[in-house]
Amino acid sequence: MRKKTGAKIQLHDYEVFLENPYRLDCTNDHLNQIIQMHGFIKLHKRRKEELLEALSTIDLMHPPRSTLNEGSSPYDSSLTIDEVNKDLEALEWQECPVQSLQTLGPSIPTIDAAGNDVSPAFKITAKKPRTKRRKTRRISDLSRRFA
């Protein structure tokens, strides 16, 4: 079965592509998406061989990172300055040295009346009362009234 053109490439498909770039089921659209992911412009109306040749000249990035693993918690996922600097060195972005970090995160979840963990950002409060819509008068109606 042929894949739908225009569909976005999935992370799994990209990982399989990294293992074997010359597999047959990779579409030209997916190859162009990989080229764009790495900061290059899309190559229009090119054969698959030309796209694969262009990709062979690019240093392809592997998606797994040291900061993303199965045991990480969303409430304890802050990075240190050293980890950020290592990531910036890997990306070759040393123009602006990092001297401090500000960590933003969700507040600690609370337990609601039903015993469920609910973050305060997701609590539903009472709805605003709906206001009645007032009938607007037209200028022609006003001129008839005062005439």
Q: Each residue of 57-80: pLDDT tens digit?
A: 888 888 765 455 555 555 556 778
Token match 């240093």: residue?
A: 59
What is the model's pTM? 0.42
Mean pLDDT of 113-133: 60
Of 68, 96, 94, 99, the C-alpha closest to 82 is: 99
Query: With the CA atoms of 58, 64, 65 and 69 taken in that order, what torsion angle do they form, in degrees rounded to the nearest 10?
Result: 180
DSSP character at residue 2: P
CA dist., res. 85 & res. 91, Å (int): 10
